[in-house]
Amino acid sequence: MRTITTSAHLEPDTTARLSVFAPTPEDEGFISLRVGGEFVDLALIARPGTADALRALARVAEEAAATLDRIAETAPEGAA
């Protein structure tokens, strides 16, 4: 991954979408995974050969979601 550091808060209405850019004679093709909301739109561009990095990201995202579920289950009433 090339270097950039930024932060944004995920909100319940955050969207995610996948766009596929098919190979052409001049390019091998790529995908764009966009996560966005009202003010922020993050685009992850991935080319062939980077599928394992996306799979690792998906695993960590699933772990993060499960952790948030556990936090919500143990939060005092009205805090989550």
pLDDT digit string (tens) for 2-55? 788 888 889 999 999 999 999 999 999 999 999 998 888 999 999 999 999 999
Model's pTM, two decimal places?
Answer: 0.78
Judge whether residue 65 has pLDDT over 70. yes
Q: Are 50 and 32 in contact (CB under 8 A)?
A: no
What pairing do the DSSP bridges indicate for beta strands 15-21 and 30-36? antiparallel
Q: Which CA distances in Å does 21 have to 8, 25, 60, 80? A: 26, 13, 25, 39
How many residues does the structure list for the chain?
Answer: 80
